[in-house]
Structure 1
C-alpha cells in the first residue's frame, strides 16, 4: 500500500501549531541547555507583560549569570547590573519613573549570595519592584559551584563530597526571609515543571506585577528550577530530582499576600 505524500506546507499552519510564541519574545534561538527552566519563565514574563499592555513601560534588570541573557529574548527595555546589584538599580529606575513596570530577573548565586544585601534591603524598604528569583541550587554558568541554596548532601564542583552544614552552613531560604520583611506585599515560591505549575507561576508573576504598579510594596517570585548541565542529569531526570529533593527544602506556595488581588 503506497503511503501518502505529506504536504508539510498544508500541515504547518497557524491553526495546527500547538505552541504560539509570545509576540514579545524575539525571534532568535535560545541558547539555554535542554530542560533549562529559564526559557519557560521568559515565556511567562513576556506573556504577562503583553497581557497587561505594558510593552512600552516595562523595564527589566538582569545581572550576571545565565539570567543575564534575558535581554536577548524579551523585547522590552533592559538594564544590565553588576553582579548582585539588580535590586539597587531597579530601585533607582522605579523611583525615577514610578509609572514603569520594573522587575529584576536573577539567579540564586547572584541574588542569594553576591547580592544578598541589595535583595534584603530593597525588599525591606518596600520598593515597588518585582524580583523574579530563579533557584536551581547551583552556580549554573560558571561551572556548577555550590550556591547558598545548594541542598544538604548535594554535590557540586566546590563541595564534591556533598554540602556539609558543619563546614558549609545551611541552605539559605530567601523566600521565607522575605515574607517576614515589612516592606514586602507578595512573596511566593512556584515552579514550571508541569502544565499546572506553569499556569500557577504565570498567575503569581501577574499578581506581583499588578501589585508593583499599584504601589503596594515589594514582591518576590521564586521559581524552583532545574539545571540539567550543572546537576549532570537529563531534562527528565532533572525534573524528577527537583521534585524529590528541591521541593522538600523549598516548599511551594504563597508565603505572604497582603495585596488583596486575585
Structure 2
C-alpha cells in the first residue's frame, strides 16, 4: 500500500510542530501496517485528546475522536460490539496515563484485544507545556519553572504489572526496532502496548536546553539502555529511570486469554 493511499491527502499539511516526533511514529506505523498487508477497511482507529491523538484522523479508515482520557474506554466498547474489527488506539502520556489512567490499567487487566500506541513526549504539549505524569524529575515546564519535584510514572512497567499481553518501549530514534515492535503488537491477541518516547522541541525541549530536535534525539541515544541488559541486574528500575536513563526494548510477550474469549463475545458477537 502506498503511503499516500494510507494517509488522507486532503488532511495535509498536518498540525504537528516542526521537529515533532509524531511524523516518525506515523511513518513507522505505516511501514508496520503495510508490511503485514492488513486491510484498512477492517481496522478502526481511536484517539483521545492531545497532539498524538490526532493521528487517527489522518488515516484513510474509520476513526473515533473521543473525549479526553477515554480512548481505551471507547476502544473497548468498539471491540466488544464489533469483535471482528482490529482496533488501534493512538494516545499520549497525559491522555492515557493521567486523565485516562484508570481505563488504561483496567484495559491491561482485562486484556482487551487492541493495539495501543502511546506517544510519550513527557509533557502536555498541546495545551502549553505543563508537566505531565511522565515529566522527569527536576525537568522544567510551564508549571514547574524551577524543576519538577515529582517523580514520573513508568507506563511500560505499569502495563506489565496490570496484565497486558505485549509491552514494548522505544524512542523515535529507534525506528527499526519500533517498526518491528509495532508489527508484533498488531499481530498480538490481547492488549498490546507500545510506548514511544518522542521529542517535543517546542514545549519540552526549549525549556530544558534542547530546543533543536536533533539534541533530543541525541539525548535519547545517550540515555537509552536495553531492557535485556538490566533485566537480571540487581537494580531498581524506578531508580534507573530517575537517573535520566530510558529503558527500551520488549518488556513482556505472553499469551494470557483475552477479554473477548473470557466473556464469550467472539462466539456470540
Give the TM interval when normalised to the shorter protein: 0.7 to 0.9
Q: Residues 53 and 92 of structure 2 are in contact (CA less than 8 Å); yes or no, is this contact kept in structure 1? A: no
Q: What is the number of residues matched between the two proteins?
A: 229
Aligned to 1:189, what secondary structure does the other structure show? strand
Cα distance in 2 for residues equivalent to 1:142 and 1:115: 17
- Find 1:113's aligned residue among 98, 103, 106: 98
Range moving further from structure 2, 197-206 or 136-145: 197-206
- 1:222 CA drift (Å): 0.2
Question: Aligned ranges for residues 116-135 of structure 1 at < 5 Å?
Answer: 116-135=101-120
- 1:74 CA drift (Å): 1.4
- Find 1:31's aligned residue among 15, 33, 43: 15
2:192 maps to which residue?
A: 219
Range moving further from structure 2, 242-251 or 44-53: 242-251
- 1:245 CA drift (Å): 5.1
What TM-score do you get using the length of structure 2 for normalisation? Answer: 0.80
- Aligned structure 1 segments of 4 or more residues deviating by more than 6 angstroms: none
1:188 maps to which residue?
A: 168
Q: Residues 112 and 191 of structure 2 are in contact (CA less than 8 Å); yes or no, is this contact kept in structure 1? A: yes
1:236 maps to which residue?
A: 214
Cα distance in 2 for residues equivalent to 1:24 and 1:241: 31
- 1:244 CA drift (Å): 4.2
Q: 1:199-244, CA deviations, whole angstroms, 9 ceiling, x for partnerless residues?
A: 1111111111111xxxx32111000110010121112122223444
Q: Is residue 2:158 matched to residue 1:177?
A: yes
RMSD across aligned positions (CA): 1.9
- 1:159 CA drift (Å): 0.4
- Find 2:148's aligned residue among 150, 160, 163: 163
Cα distance in 1 for residues equivalent to 2:82 and 2:44: 10
2:262 maps to which residue?
A: none
Q: 1:39-73, CA deviations, whole angstroms, 9 ceiling, x for partnerless residues?
A: 11112223333333221111111111102321332
What TM-score do you get using the length of structure 1 for normalisation? Answer: 0.82
Cα distance in 2 for residues equivalent to 1:47 and 1:246: 23
Cα distance in 1 for residues equivalent to 2:53 and 2:31: 19
Q: 1:98-120, CA deviations, whole angstroms, 9 ceiling, x for partnerless residues?
A: 11110110111111111100111
Structure 2, unpaired ranges of 5+ = 226-243, 256-269
Cα distance in 2 for residues equivalent to 1:94 and 1:48: 21
Q: 1:84-137, CA deviations, whole angstroms, 9 ceiling, x for partnerless residues?
A: 110011001111111111011011111111110011111111100111111111
